[in-house]
């Protein structure tokens, strides 16, 4: 099975099993420009062409205010796909740069802006490109730093909008393969905190474990799910 068919198959299975899409939904994809969000936008656009429940896809990028940042690649990409696209300029970086936990503050602010913008665009859902790797990393971070065994869910309700994660069961390596195989445009992260976070530390821990015993991400999520079902 080629990589696009594989990603489409796993995405469709997750969307169906979690009942993520309602008839005639308009879904705003949070488009950061990274490989995961670019892959999600492309995959959902392809899925909308044959999924039995009709839905529409648009995209929203939140400009954090980093120096020399540009979403021109994403604008051109959305034009090629025939997708409505909106960029929201902010001064998030000036607010978070001296924060004790800048990533957490940034995530909350971006989520708020995404929700407000998606509502303005008439969307019922926001699609975030969190993968199986992200879910496992969040679970381990919560255990190590907060003492709680939980991670985010495939579907959550946030005020007046639904947040869906169609890549919840998709390994991150598949998005890397997809963007390379199809030569999809990807923007390099300009965040000065990139790869200097607790998440990066946990990611490297999981990667080391995975080299010894493949499937670490899946086992972490399985353990969390088993605990929640007790």
CATH, residue 190: 3.40.50.620
Report whether pLDDT(91) > 60: yes
CA contacts within 13 A on the Cβ side of 166: 30
| Model pLDDT for residues 25-76, shown as the tens digit of each residue | 999 999 999 999 999 999 999 999 999 999 999 999 998 877 566 789 999 9
pLDDT recorded at residue 67:
56
| Domain assignment of residue 8, given as a range | 3-228
Tokens of 27: 């879904």
The pLDDT tens digits of the residues spanning 115-134 come to 999 999 999 999 999 999 99
Q: What is the model's pLDDT at position 178?
A: 98
> What confidence category does residue 230 fall into, taking pLDDT thresholds of 50, 70 and 90?
low
Number of domains into which the chain is organized: 1
67 vs 223, residue with greater confidence: 223
Q: So what's the pLDDT on residue 74?
A: 95
Residue 84 has pLDDT above 70, yes or no: yes
pLDDT for res 68: 61
| Least confident interval from 8-22, 56-70, 213-227 | 56-70
Residue range 134-188, pLDDT digits in tens: 999 999 999 998 899 999 999 999 888 999 999 999 999 999 999 999 999 998 8
Q: Are 108 and 96 in contact (CB under 8 A)?
A: no
The pLDDT score that the predictor gives to residue 28 is 98
Q: How far apart are CA 205 and CA 210, in angstroms?
A: 9
Q: Which residue reads 């080391």 in tokens?
A: 208
């Amino acid at each position: 099975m080629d990589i696009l068919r594989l990603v489409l198959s796993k995405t469709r299975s997750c969307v169906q099993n979690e009942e993520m899409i309602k008839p005639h939904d308009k879904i705003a994809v949070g488009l950061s420009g990274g490989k995961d969000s670019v892959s999600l936008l492309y995959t959902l656009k392809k899925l909308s062409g044959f999924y039995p429940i009709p839905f529409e896809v648009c995209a929203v990028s939140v400009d954090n205010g980093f120096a020399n940042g540009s979403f021109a690649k994403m604008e051109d990409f959305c034009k090629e796909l025939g997708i409505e696209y909106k960029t929201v300029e902010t001064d998030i970086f000036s607010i978070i740069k001296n924060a004790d936990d800048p990533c957490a503050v940034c995530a909350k602010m971006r989520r708020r802006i995404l929700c407000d913008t998606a509502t303005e665009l008439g969307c019922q859902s926001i699609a975030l490109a969190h993968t199986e790797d992200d879910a496992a990393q969040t679970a381990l971070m919560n255990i190590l730093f907060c003492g709680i065994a939980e991670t985010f869910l495939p579907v959550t309700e946030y005020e007046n909008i639904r947040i869906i994660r169609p890549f919840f069961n998709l390994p991150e390596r598949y998005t890397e393969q997809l963007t390379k195989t199809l030569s999809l445009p990807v923007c390099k992260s300009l965040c000065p905190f990139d790869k200097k976070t607790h998440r990066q530390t946990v990611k490297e821990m999981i990667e080391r474990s995975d080299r010894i015993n493949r499937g670490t991400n899946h086992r972490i999520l399985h353990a969390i799910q088993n605990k929640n079902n007790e």
